[in-house]
């Protein structure tokens, strides 16, 4: 079976950077990342249960007081949720690029001093759900809010993860939403995420350099690439 050589188009299929690519994209497989930006081809996600749980989590905390999320947070209210943010063209190494950040945050709190706080909702039991891993993604939202493509900038004074970990089945009261008396219990905790602008800009530069260069090698632990390579090697008649 002959393989068709990939010819890169004259320009990428998109000119915006997804915040999640600063975490999952760079750390998983740069080849998949490169193909995504040049050809708009991605592997569909397989998260049948996570999305409805995450949606329920976000809906539960709309208009919530920040100190209900965590007592360490200053007084404020969650006033916005699920909105797209887009940055002005990114400046890397003193040079303006054609790239912009485009993403959708989960929850946005407004504090009494006029600043805002970004809350990223997670439903997971993974040890990877920590501030260090997700910091670049949240930093991207913060950059877009503080340097918007259009409109008023918002100073970001806090970032954090609101994590739900499933704690088994528990009895609940019947309601309009639940026809039986059982549901999932969760353990909740808030993880503050520290800002690190220098690391964020370094990752942006690495991401843009990867996209604008030639097609990278597949990631050694990329399940998608490893599957496709083995599939092609079969060459079944």
Q: What is the CATH number of the domain that holds 90?
A: 3.90.320
- Residue 164 covered by a domain: yes
Q: What is the pLDDT of residue 1?
A: 47
* Beta strand residue intervals within the chain, DSSP E: 16-17, 76-81, 84-86, 91-92, 95-96, 100-104, 107-111, 116-123, 156-171, 182-192
Among 91, 94, 104, residue whose Cα is nearest residue 141: 104
- The predicted-structure confidence for 22-34, as pLDDT tens digits, reads as follows 988 888 899 999 9
User: Taking residues 19-47, what's their average pLDDT?
Assistant: 87
Q: pLDDT (tens digit, 9 = 90+) per residue, 196-216?
A: 999 999 999 999 999 999 999
pLDDT in tens, 155-188: 999 999 998 887 777 776 666 566 666 667 778 8
Is 178 inside any structural domain? yes
What pLDDT digit, counting tens, does each position of 58-71 carry?
A: 898 999 999 888 99
User: Percent of the chain having pLDDT more than 90?
Assistant: 58
Q: In this structure, is residue 74 part of a structural domain?
A: yes
Q: What is the rounded distance in angstroms from the CA atom of residue 157 to the CA atom of residue 71?
A: 16
Residue 95, domain member (yes or no) = yes
Q: Give the mean model confidence (pLDDT) for residues 228-233.
A: 83
Does 220 reside within a domain?
yes
**Under 8 Å between Cβ of 210 and 33:** yes
In a domain, 151, yes or no: yes
Return the pLDDT at 178: 61
Residue at 10 is within a domain: no
Range of the domain at 180: 16-234
- Higher-confidence position of 141 and 130: 141
Which residues, listed in sequence order, are joined to residue 96 by a DSSP beta bridge?
91
Task: Give the chain's domain count.
Answer: 1
User: How does the average pLDDT of the chain come out, rounded?
Assistant: 87
């Amino acid at each position: 079976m002959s393989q068709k050589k990939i010819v890169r188009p004259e320009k990428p299929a998109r000119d915006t950077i997804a915040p999640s690519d600063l975490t999952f994209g760079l750390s998983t497989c740069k080849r998949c990342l490169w193909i995504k930006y040049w050809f708009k081809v991605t592997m569909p996600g397989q998260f049948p249960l996570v999305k409805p749980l995450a949606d329920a989590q976000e809906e539960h905390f709309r208009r919530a007081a920040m100190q209900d999320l965590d007592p360490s947070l200053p007084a404020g209210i969650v006033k916005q949720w699920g909105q797209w943010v887009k940055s002005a063209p990114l400046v890397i190494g003193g040079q303006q690029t054609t790239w912009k950040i485009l993403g959708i945050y989960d929850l946005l709190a407004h504090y009494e001093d006029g600043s805002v706080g970004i809350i990223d909702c997670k439903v997971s039991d993974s040890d990877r759900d920590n501030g260090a891993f997700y910091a670049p993604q949240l930093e991207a939202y913060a950059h877009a809010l503080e340097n918007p493509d259009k409109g008023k900038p918002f100073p970001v004074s806090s970032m954090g993860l609101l994590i739900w970990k499933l704690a088994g089945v528990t009895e609940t009261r019947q309601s309009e939403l639940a026809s039986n008396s059982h549901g999932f219990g969760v353990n909740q905790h808030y993880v503050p995420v520290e800002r690190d602008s220098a690391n964020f800009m370094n990752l942006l530069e690495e991401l843009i350099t990867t996209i604008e260069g030639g097609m990278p090698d597949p990631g050694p632990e990329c399940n998608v690439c490893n599957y496709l390579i083995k599939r092609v090697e079969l060459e079944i008649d």
